[in-house]
Amino acid sequence: MNILEVRDLRVYYQTIKGEVKALDGATFSVAEGEIMGLAGESGCGKSTLGRSLVLLKPPMKYVDGKVFLEGEPLPIWDREKMNAFRFAKVSLIPQYAMNALNPTKKIKRIFADILASRGIRLKQVLSELNWRFELVELPLEVLKMYPIELSGGMKQRVVMVLSTLLNPSLLIADEVTSALDVSTQKAVAKMLVEFRDQRFVKALIVITHDISLLYQIADTILVMYAGKFAEKGGTEEIISDPKHPYTRLLISSLPKIGVRYMETKLRGIPGHPPSLLEPPGGCRFRERCPEAFEKCGEEPPFITLDSTGRQVACWLITGNHD
C-alpha cells in the first residue's frame, strides 16, 4: 500500500517581485516501508516539498495538486486542519533541528510540552521513551539536561526520538546529517533505517544533497531539478544507470575516494539553475543539458513510467523520436 501519494503538487513563494515557482509539479508515491531519498541541489525545491507536507505557511503558497496519506486526503492547504495530522500522522525533522530545541527548557520539559499539546501526558509514554533513548544510545540523564549541555549529534538524536514518538505514518528528515561529522553522520543515518525497521514510522522521506548518503540507506531515490521532478527509481538503478542527463552529470561530478585529480579529472556541470521567478518554458535543465534538442525548448517533458517502475521526465526517454 502507498503511504503517501502526491499528485502534481505546486507550491510557490510569494515575494515582492512575483511568485517564485519553487515546487512546480511533483508527482510520486511512497510505499509502506519505503525509505525514499529526495536529492537535488540547493534551490531545487526539495525542502519546499518536505515542508509543504507538514506546515505550509506564508510566504509559501499552495497553488495546486493533491496529497493523500494512507488513502486519506491530506489538507495541506489548511493549517488548522493539519493540526490533527502534524506530529501524530506526519512528522518533520527540519534542517538544523538541533537548534530548534528551546534553550531555556530541559529536554524533559520539551517532551512534556509537545505531548501536552496533543493531550498526552509524559507518564503515559515514559517507558516507550526510555527504550527509544536506549536504542539511539542516549543516556536517560539527557532528560534532565538543557540543550546546551548536549553535542550536535546528541541533539539531533533527541529531535529524532521526539518527532517519531507517536509513531507517525510518514517521517520527513530534511538534511538531518549534513551538520554532523562523518562518523556521527553514519550512526544517525543508520538510526533512520532502524526507525523504519522497528516500525516507528511506516515510510520515510530523507531529503539531502548528498547522493552517496542515500546510496547507503535509501530504497528509492527521487531527483529534483529547479522545482521539477527529474527522475525516480530504485537506488541501485539510479546510481548505476541514471536515465536523466542531470542525474548522470551530477553523479559523475562527485569525487569518490580513490579518485585523484592527477589521474582522473572530474568535471562539474557548466552553467547554473534558471531563476524560478520566471523559469523558461520547456525543460528547465535544457540550458545546461548536453543532449538537449528542439523539443526540450518547446514543452516541459512528461513523467513517464517504464516497466521497471522507473519514472523519468526527459524528452530523450519519453520518446517522440518516431
Partner 1 sequence: MIELEHVTKIYRLGTFGRRALRAVDDVSFRVAQGRVVSLIGESGSGKTTIGKMILRLIPLTSGRILFEGNDISALSGRALKDYYRKVQGVFQDPFSSYNPIFKADRIFRILKTEFFPTVGPQQWDKRIREVLSTVGLVPEEVLGKYPHQLSGGQLQRFLIARALLLDIQFLVADEIISMLDASTRIDVLNLLAELRNNRGLSILFITHDLSLAHYLSDEAIILYRGSIMESGDIEKVFQRPLHPYTQILLSSVPRLDQKWEETEIRLKVQEGKRTAGCPYYDRCYLAEKGKICADLKPQLVEAEEQHFVACHRFREIPKEVKHAAGQTRGTSLA
The footprint of partner 1 (CB under 8 A) covers: 41-42, 137, 139, 151-154, 157, 181-187, 189-190, 209-213, 215-216, 239, 249-251, 253-261, 265-269, 272
Cell of 237: 538503478
Give whichever of 123 and 265 is closer to partner 1, judged by the CB atom. Answer: 265
Give whichever of 169 and 208 is closer to partner 1, judged by the CB atom. Answer: 208
Least CB distance to partner 1 at residue 230 (A): 13
Least CB distance to partner 1 at residue 180 (A): 9
Integer Cα distance of 33 and 113 in angstroms = 30
Least CB distance to partner 1 at residue 320 (A): 27
Give whichever of 99 and 124 is closer to partner 1, judged by the CB atom. Answer: 99
Give whichever of 26 and 211 is closer to partner 1, judged by the CB atom. Answer: 211
Integer Cα distance of 183 and 175 in angstroms = 16
Do 191 and 218 meet the contact criterion of CB atoms below 8 Å apart? no
Least CB distance to partner 1 at residue 201 (A): 21
Give whichever of 107 and 251 is closer to partner 1, judged by the CB atom. Answer: 251
Q: Compute CA distances 24 → 76, 77, 284, whole Å.
A: 16, 16, 11
**Which of 95, 116, 93, 89 lies closest to 105 in space, CA to CA?**
116
Do 188 and 180 meet the contact criterion of CB atoms below 8 Å apart? yes
Least CB distance to partner 1 at residue 120 (A): 28
Is omega for the bond preceding 59 within 30 degrees of 0, making it cis? yes
Cell of 87: 506530529
